Each structure stands twice: as structure tokens, then as C-alpha cells.
Structure 1
Amino acid sequence: MIDRTRTARRSDRPEGPAAAAIAARSTDVPVGGPPRRWPQSFADRLAAPLPGLPQLARLVRASRPLASVGDVDRIPIRRDGLPALRADTTAVTWVGHATYVLDIGGLRVLTDPVWSRRIPGVRPRFVPPGVALTEVTPVDAVVISHNHYDHLDAPTIRRLPRDTAVFVPAGLGEWFRRRGFRRVTELDWWESARLHDVRFDLVPAQHWSRRGPADTCRSLWGGWLLGAADHGPRIYFAGDTGYGDFFTAIAQRYPRIDLALLPIGAYHPRWFMRAVHLDPAEAVRAFGDLAADRMATMHWGTFAMTKEPVLEPLELVRAAWSATGLPRDRLWDLAIGETRRLAPRTT
């Protein structure tokens, strides 16, 4: 069980749903350890009440048509292929949506892997994945941010070797164990585990979880920090999240983030999505709070999750970035299938 008794002075504690967990001490968890006991619900981590029927009805009335096929045809695609996996090379390849292939510390890690053409409730993906799953070998580890269908895709998971190391938020481990995965590690916010030379830390996010009508907030949600040893590059993967002061708390605890993978899509309408999804301007603001060196975009251009025009997230994030005056080369607005490499740190 996790020691949740330690708290910070009220004047030192951040506001918002992450407050209690932010105050808790960091804990190292063994990889693939035995199942752990968790609360029946994580609803106390919500930033705001979930919408009810009146809000859902308003959303339907306010909906506008999906973007045109012409917009879809303009989604940037670049088939770089995966680089050779090397212990001294850190690289990121955007597959689409929130799926990245991360080469870090000699491991190949997948974030929220979704290779399916369809997911429940939305139209088929606009363009094929930037890399075929059959090309992603080996798959050393998977990190999952939460259990929504566009981030936890059962058909893709079934295609992975059962000895793949899987890192998930609290309460989600049994979903993988039932499917035969043998190296499942569940973490609470601010906990960590180490696989070979790479450390995996679960950090707060402002979101929620559900896969069916009876499991709302039964498992946790979060982002991930991946770092190769103490001197290697550190990558932050936000998963799904709204904006909150936990970004500053992450920066305080992890003062050196080389690359932040931040979602920029699925934000319309704001009155409905603000609590759980960043818009492009908020993503740039979160990047500033994180004090990261570079930002890479995701969670757009793949599925029609909400009703903003397909290319609008890309256009707005570029405008928000330009307004900051930051160097343009620190924004990695990758095309689907594009690979970028992080230079080794010199200090």
C-alpha cells in the first residue's frame, strides 16, 4: 500500500486535484511486481465534476459538421521509418494521435499504442499510422496514460508480446493481466520504476477514466517522465490532460526536461473540453510551465474526436508559439511518421 499520510504545509501545497498526490513522497516500485491494492475510485482526483445529461444534450445541439475531406488531405505525412535502436541515441517517431515510438536508453517504448483503423464512437482514422506495427521491433515497453479507447486500444495490445513490460496508472494493471501480460507495473502519481537504464515516473494529469458504464474513475490517469540514467535525455509524455498548476509542480520535481510531448487537439467546444483537454495555446503555456527545452505536438490529425477543423490545432499552436518569441526550432510540429533525434546532453 502507498503511504498517503504525509502532507505538505497548506501554504506550500499546489491547488487543484493533484494537490494531495503532489504532497506525497516519491516511491520506487519494482517492475512487474505483485498486484497492489488500490481505492475503489479515483474520483477525488478530478478537477471538476464530470458532465451530466444536460451538458451532453447541449453539446449535441452545438455540434457543427466535421471538417471536409480536403482538410484531411492536407494533414502532413512523412514516412521516415524507424532509426536503428542504439543505446546512445534518443529518438521520437510520431505514429499518430498520442502514439509515439520512443527510443531511449537502448529501449524501444510505445506511448498509448493505437494502430487500429477504427476506435469505438468515431470515424476511421484520417491517415494510416506513420509506422507499421510490424516494423516496431523490438517492443521493450509500453506506457499507458489512461483507459479511454483512443489511448488504450485492445486490438493493438493483443498484437504485442506478452512479456512486454507494461507501465500503467493505478487500477489498470488487471486489464493487462487478464490478457496474459506478465510484466505489469502499476504506479500512483509521483511513483517510479526502472527498466534497465530507463526510469519511468507517473506524474499528475487533469483528466478522467472510463471504458464502460460502470467503471468511471475506477483507474487513475496521468502523464509519464522517461529518463535514461541520470545524465541522459528526459522525455515527458502528457497523455490526455487539461491545464493545471501540476505542470509547474512537475517542473519543480524534474528540473530538466529535454522534450515535452503535449496534446493540442480535441478541444472544441471549450466550455465542455477545457477541464480535460488542452487547446493549442494552453499547450504552449504548459510547455512554459514545464521549463522544457523542446515541445512536440500530438493528439490531432488522426481521429475526429471533436469538431474543430482538422488543421486548426496545427495552425493555432504555431501562432501561439510565434507569440512567445521562442526559437521556432524548439517547436517540433511533427508530420505523421516523422522522426526527430535528441542530441546527447553535454552536462
Structure 2
Amino acid sequence: MFYRSPAIVWRNATLLLNINGISILVDPMLGEKGVLGPFPMTDNELLNPLIDFPFSQEELIKKLRSIDAVVITHLHPDHWDSKAIELIGKNVPVLCPDIIVDQITQQGFQNTVPVNTSIHWDNIEIFKTKGQHGTGEIGEKM
């Protein structure tokens, strides 16, 4: 039996989900390779984003025009960068934790959808879950 994943990874945490014919872009980091520089509190000097997109800038713009929604899990720049803020249409629904809705709205997005515990959106059930970025000193800071 062949199983096809509904997710296409673009880079880092950025992926495109296709569920029931609906395209959802998750944690868009859309800046060019290296534009964010090295991330603080890491043991390396690698420039972020670490990789180019697997498609051209023109194809990126085309793909962004066809998304139905964006999900932002949190506001770290490897999950939501200034290029995403610039390129994503301001009327596209942005689903995010209720605690960051005001910040997303202040960035010009007019269709923010807060997720407190869970929501039913366009025949898709979405649940907010807890995550952990690291352990020890870095985990405590994040």
C-alpha cells in the first residue's frame, strides 16, 4: 500500500499541508538563505535560513497565492520572519495561539483566528499543543 504524506517540507519548520483539498502553510520562514544570520544561543555560526527553497522565488510567489491559510506556532524568526510578513496576503486566515493574535494583527493581518485549546476551521479540527525547544539552560531561556 502506498501512503502519501499530506505535508511538503519547504525548510526548517516551514511546510505546506494539504488536507481535504485545503492548503495550509505552517511556520513560514520565507527569507533568502542566510539573511537572518546565525541564531543566538547556538554553538555554531551557520547563517539562517540554512538552505535555499527547493523552488524559485517566482514559484514561491505563485505558491503563496494558492494557500488557504497560515498556521503560526510561535514568533521565533525561524517560524515567522519579516519576509513572510511582507509576502503573505493580509486577508489570508492566520491561525495562531491566542496569545500572539494581537501581534499578528498589528503586522497588518486582517483575518487572525485565535486558537486557545482547539478550533474547528473549514472542516479541519486544530488543537494547540505544548512544545519544548530544548533542555537545560537553553530550554529555560526559550
TM-score (norm 2): 0.74
Correspondent of 1:178 among 92, 106, 120: 106
The structure that has the greater radius of gyration is 1
Correspondent of 2:7 among 69, 92, 95: 92
* Structure 1 vs Structure 2 CA RMSD: 2.4
Amino acid at match of 1:101: L
- From the superposition, tell whether residues 124 and 202 of structure 1 become closer, same or farther in structure 2 (CA, over 3 Å): closer
- From the superposition, tell whether residues 170 and 196 of structure 1 become closer, same or farther in structure 2 (CA, over 3 Å): closer
Partner of 2:36: 119
Amino acid at match of 2:122: H
Amino acid at match of 1:129: F
Q: Deviations over 1:213-258 (max 9, x none)?
A: xxxxxxxxxxxxxxxxxxxxxxxxxxxx34xxxxxxxxxxxxxxxx
Which fold has the larger relative contact order, with Cα–Cα distance below 8 Å and residues 6 or more apart in sequence? 1
Higher strand share goes to which structure?
A: 2
> Which aligned segments of 4 or more residues in structure 1 are displaced greater than 6 angstroms?
none
Partner of 2:127: 201
Quote the offset at 1:154 in angstroms.
2.0
- Which secondary structure state, in structure 2, belongs to the residue aligned with residue 174 of structure 1? helix
Alignment length (residue pairs): 126
Q: Deviations over 1:111-167 (max 9, x none)?
A: 110110222554243321124422414111111111111111122122111111111
Amino acid at match of 1:198: I
Amino acid at match of 2:51: V
Q: Deviations over 1:26-78 (max 9, x none)?
A: xxxxxxxxxxxxxxxxxxxxxxxxxxxxxxxxxxxxxxxxxxxxxxxxxxxxx
Counterparts in 2 of 1:56-135, with a 5 A limit?
91-117=6-32, 118-119=35-36, 121-122=38-39, 123-131=47-55, 132-135=59-62
Identity of aligned residues (%): 21
CA distance in 1: counterparts of 2:141 and 2:16, whole angstroms: 24
- From the superposition, tell whether residues 120 and 193 of structure 1 become closer, same or farther in structure 2 (CA, over 3 Å): farther
Amino acid at match of 2:60: L
Counterparts in 2 of 1:206-245, with a 5 A limit?
206=132, 241-242=133-134
CA distance in 1: counterparts of 2:123 and 2:69, whole angstroms: 13
Amino acid at match of 1:168: C
TM-score (norm 1): 0.33
- Which secondary structure state, in structure 2, belongs to the residue aligned with residue 127 of structure 1? coil
Structure 2 unaligned regions, length at least 5: 40-46
- From the superposition, tell whether residues 276 and 199 of structure 1 become closer, same or farther in structure 2 (CA, over 3 Å): farther
- Which secondary structure state, in structure 1, belongs to the residue aligned with residue 77 of structure 2? coil
Amino acid at match of 2:69: A
1:149 aligns with 2:64: no
